[in-house]
Amino acid sequence: MSHIDKIKRFFSENPSMIDRKWKKGEYLCWEGAGLERLSLLVSGRCRVFRDLNNGRTVLYRIYVPGSIMGDIELFSGGKASCSIQFITDAETVSVSMESVRTNKDRYSRLIFYLGRGLARKLHENSLSEALNTSYPLEVRLAHYYLNFTDSDLSASSLGQLAEWMGCSYRHLTRSLAALSLKGGIRKYGEGGGAGWEILDQSVLRKIAMPMLEEEGRILFEPGEPLEE
């Protein structure tokens, strides 16, 4: 039985379970809004982010199938800590948080699993923050092009990519040009159809090696088996 099937089995024992399909661009929740359901991502992908007071957007991670959403709010009882937006069509199953809180003995294994997942998230977020403040933008861009430029995960514009990288648009274009001069990427198209694509992965891998060695895909929330 797969990890997703095991979680769905736990959820199916809860009469409040709902199976829902989402369209690309829809939001599971908004930062600061109420969040009353614990959700499992069955298919598709979504981004977890926060909007800062200075107008920038910080991308925390990309959720893939098997990810749990709402675990922080289940324990804290507070409002949504981040916004979650689907970047592909997706499917989730969810249960009422209150039903889990009021039946702790029945869902003790699930609660332990969620607590272990939160510990992992704390570790990964601390590492991610340290790496993103320690390495130059050029290194982080090389890492991005190696890992996140498939159709589901690539930024929709350079403006969005600048937000994700936490830099100015001017700084971003300078760093892209530097990667191009080193032979890692190349520009294609003109005007609104212009963009950047990988030219030589080996060049990018050499530049991004410090991050690759330390953390791999730090933005992903991997599925972890739920023990029988």
Summarize pLDDT for 81-140 with one digit per residue, the tens: 899 999 889 999 999 999 999 988 888 888 888 888 888 877 777 766 666 667 889 998
Superfamily name with CATH number, domain 3-132: Jelly Rolls (2.60.120.10)
- Whether residue 148 contacts residue 211, with contact meaning beta carbons closer than 8 Å, is answered with no
CATH number assigned to the domain covering 136-214: 1.10.10.10
Provide the whole-model pTM.
0.71
Q: Which pLDDT band holds residue 223 (cuts at 50, 70, 90)?
A: very low
Contact 20, 91 (CB under 8 A): yes
Decide: 97 and 137 in contact? Cβ < 8 Å.
Answer: no
The CATH 2.60.120.10 domain(s) of the chain lie at 3-132
Which stretch of 48-52, 56-60, 179-183 has the lowest confidence by average pLDDT?
A: 56-60
Q: What's the pLDDT score for residue 154?
A: 67
Give the residue range(s) of CATH 1.10.10.10 domains in the chain. 136-214
Decide: residue 140, CB within 10 A, 0-12 exposed, 13-18 middle, 19+ buried: buried
Q: Across-strand partners of 83?
A: 49
